[in-house]
């Protein structure tokens, strides 16, 4: 549709031809045109009543939305958020019909844009700009009909859950207790050359027990030195954790011994400094070997990361410059 409008413009203005990629304004004009055409067909009675300054007909799905027609002729939701700091689209979202191809296309677009998000997240993403009628049912149908989501949906087994650890239910500082696990390997090419071999990279997933907040750190090597560097980066951002939980992987065990030697070395100064450093020691706790059920909280963090990432990456070997934006976008969730 945007190219059609460009063709019409170039035909009427031969001395100022438009060429090259489509601009944001051209895409906006085309989308507004399609939305207005759909609204005129689906909400003709409501639009006619609003233009005549009459009330919305009884039995209409728009009666409770307090709709109005903006300066561009688009039907939007009313409300009492005019003086808020939200954007215009969030204050007054565009009304979409419940059963129309354009509404389906918009939902599919946001589903793919947000890395195959679940129905609740899809409805939230669409709701930042649009107000679909019966949007909850439509978001569920879009996700259920997605072949990629269907193939990646794991079969969940029923299991009787044990008691929660004391660290999860005891109030403390937000980043005081955390669990860590690795996800990977991910095959990434450093540069865009054919003969360059893809390198293995890993993602360290930290989950804080009290707040359930998740933090992702990219690790280039699965070694104790790389993991210690990862710890230094996350402690510099979030603050030092006093207790860290992990499984019994060999690189974790090596990292703990390095941290212990580092702590013993720092304890040699005078008593005041030693007392201060002792209060900031990192206590490392390991779960039993081959028992992922003991680290359910950070195992869930790995699951949530894989949910979006595998749907987008599949078996693709990304270049590093393309992988980093995707990795940073994953950190937004």
Average pLDDT, the chain: 77
8 A C-beta contact, residue 106 and residue 130: yes
Lowest-confidence pick of 56-65, 73-82, 302-311: 302-311
Looking at the fold, whether 42 and 183 belong to one and the same domain comes out as no
Q: Report the 10 Å Cβ neighbour count for 95.
A: 23
**Domain containing residue 297: CATH number:** 3.30.420.10
pLDDT tens sequence across 46-69: 988 988 888 888 888 888 888 999
8 A C-beta contact, residue 298 and residue 205: yes
Q: Flag whether pLDDT at 326 surpasses 70.
A: no
The residue behind tokens 């203005």 is 13
Q: Flag whether pLDDT at 137 surpasses 70.
A: yes
Which of 104, 125, 152 represents a domain boundary (last residue)? 152
Q: Is residue 161 part of a domain?
A: no
State the DSSP string of 219-264: ESS-SHHHHHHHHHHHHHHH---SEEEE---HHHHHHHHHHHHHHH
**Which structural domain range is residue 64 located in?**
1-10+17-152
**Quick one: pLDDT at residue 108?**
94
Looking at the fold, whether 177 and 291 belong to one and the same domain comes out as yes
Looking at the fold, whether 71 and 100 belong to one and the same domain comes out as yes
Quote the percentage of the chain above a pLDDT of 70: 75
**What average pLDDT does range 158-180 have in this prediction?**
78
Of the two residues 191 and 72, the one the predictor is more confident about is: 72
**Quick one: pLDDT at residue 257?**
60
Q: Is residue 116 part of a domain?
A: yes
**CA Rg, the chain, in Å?**
27
**Quick one: pLDDT at residue 262?**
42
Helices (H), the chain: 2-12, 24-42, 44-51, 88-91, 101-113, 119-126, 135-145, 147-152, 166-169, 224-238, 250-266, 271-279, 296-313, 320-330
- Count how many domains the chain has: 2
Which of 152, 183, 206 represents a domain boundary (last residue)? 152
* CA angle 232–168–203, rounded 5-degree value: 40
Residues 6+ apart with CB under 8 A from 60: 45, 46
**Quick one: pLDDT at residue 265?**
38
């Amino acid at each position: 549709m945007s190219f059609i409008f460009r063709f019409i413009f170039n035909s009427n203005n031969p001395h100022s031809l438009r060429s090259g990629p489509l601009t944001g304004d051209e895409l906006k004009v085309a989308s507004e045109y399609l939305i207005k055409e759909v609204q005129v067909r689906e909400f003709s009675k409501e639009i006619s009543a609003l233009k005549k300054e009459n009330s919305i007909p009884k039995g209409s799905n728009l009666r409770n939305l307090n709709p109005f027609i903006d300066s561009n002729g688009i039907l939007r939701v009313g409300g009492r958020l005019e003086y808020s700091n939200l954007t215009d689209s969030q204050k007054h979202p565009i009304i979409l019909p419940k059963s129309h191809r354009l509404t389906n296309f918009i939902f599919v677009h946001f589903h793919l844009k947000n890395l195959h998000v679940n129905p609740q997240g899809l409805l939230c993403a669409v709701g930042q700009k649009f107000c679909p009628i019966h949007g909850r049912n439509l978001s569920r149908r879009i996700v259920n009909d997605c072949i990629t989501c269907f193939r990646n949906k794991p079969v969940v087994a029923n299991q009787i859950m044990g008691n929660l650890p004391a660290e999860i239910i005891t109030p403390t500082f937000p980043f005081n207790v955390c669990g860590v696990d690795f996800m990977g390997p991910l095959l990434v090419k450093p540069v865009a050359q054919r003969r360059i071999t893809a390198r293995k990279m890993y993602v360290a997933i930290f989950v804080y027990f009290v707040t359930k907040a998740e933090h992702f750190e990219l690790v280039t090597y699965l070694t104790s030195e790389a993991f210690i560097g990862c710890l230094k980066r996350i402690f510099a951002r979030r603050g030092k954790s006093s207790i860290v939980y992990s499984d019994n992987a060999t690189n974790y065990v090596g990292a703990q011994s390095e941290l212990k030697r580092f702590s013993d070395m720092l304890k040699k100064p005078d008593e005041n400094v030693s007392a201060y450093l002792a209060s900031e020691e990192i206590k490392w706790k390991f779960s039993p070997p081959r028992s992922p059920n003991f680290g359910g909280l950070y195992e869930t963090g790995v699951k949530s990361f894989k949910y979006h990432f595998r749907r987008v990456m599949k078996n693709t070997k990304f270049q590093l410059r393309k992988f980093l934006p995707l990795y940073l976008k994953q950190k937004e969730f």
